[in-house]
């Protein structure tokens, strides 16, 4: 009868030890997984921003009436067309990774990357933007929100000159 008790005690101890080991692995591994996920989100969004920038510049070169449809997937953060029509911005607050030195503007092709420290320790606010001042005004349809999140098909269209300024409109298509 003593042997049955020993077996159950051993089983409970092994089970408890297994739970402790899994907890330690998760505690050590989850921050690394979150950093890798954030890094992948930033890399994918930079590619989307490069694609959108390339399409805007092609539409500008081709002249009035030219348009492109671009599918973008913003998994985290927000894609914003600023009020002045000079900037397209992707903002991601609370990132676990440091993309560039905080407060330093880093050019990457036609994009600029800015990282700032967030209020929470070891988190950062990242902005990736394209600047079109002096090239064109980026406009959105009146009454439409200026922030996009998720999978969206964008129509980028050269609207021609208006009051001496080239207008490029960005609007969503219905899926």
Q: What is the mean pLDDT of each run of 10 residues along the chain (175 residues)?
A: 75 93 90 90 91 92 91 84 82 89 91 92 91 85 67 88 86 73
- The pLDDT score that the predictor gives to residue 2 is 60
- What local confidence, expressed as pLDDT, does residue 13 receive? 92
3-state SS record for 14-25:
HHHHHHHHHHHH
Tell me, what's the pLDDT at 99? Answer: 87
pLDDT value of position 19: 95
62, 115 Cβ separation under 8 angstroms: no
Across the strands, what pairs with 157? Answer: 67, 169
Report the C-alpha gap between 89 and 140 in whole angstroms: 14
| Residue 140 pLDDT | 80
pLDDT at residue 174, as a whole number: 64
DSSP, res 100: S
- Range of the structural domain that residue 59 is part of: 2-172
Specify the number of domains making up the chain: 1
What's the pLDDT score for residue 50? 92
DSSP-assigned letter for residue 147: E
What pLDDT shows up at residue 115?
93
- CA distance between the termini of the chain: 70
């Amino acid at each position: 009868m003593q042997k049955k008790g020993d077996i159950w005690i051993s089983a409970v101890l092994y089970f408890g030890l297994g739970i402790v080991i899994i907890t330690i692995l998760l505690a050590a591994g989850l921050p690394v997984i979150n950093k890798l996920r954030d890094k992948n989100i930033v890399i994918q969004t930079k590619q989307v921003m490069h694609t959108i920038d390339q399409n805007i510049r092609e539409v500008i070169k081709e002249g009035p009436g030219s348009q492109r449809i671009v599918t973008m997937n913003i998994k985290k953060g927000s894609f914003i067309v600023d009020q002045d029509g000079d900037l397209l911005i992707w903002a991601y607050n609370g990132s676990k990774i440091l993309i560039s030195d905080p407060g330093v503007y880093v050019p990457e092709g036609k994009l600029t990357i800015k990282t700032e420290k967030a209020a929470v320790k070891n988190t950062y606010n990242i902005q990736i933007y394209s600047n079109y001042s002096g090239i064109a005004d980026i406009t959105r349809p009146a009454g439409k929100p200026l922030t996009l999140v998720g999978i969206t098909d964008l129509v980028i269209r050269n609207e021609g000159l208006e009051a001496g300024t080239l207008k490029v409109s960005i609007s969503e298509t219905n899926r």
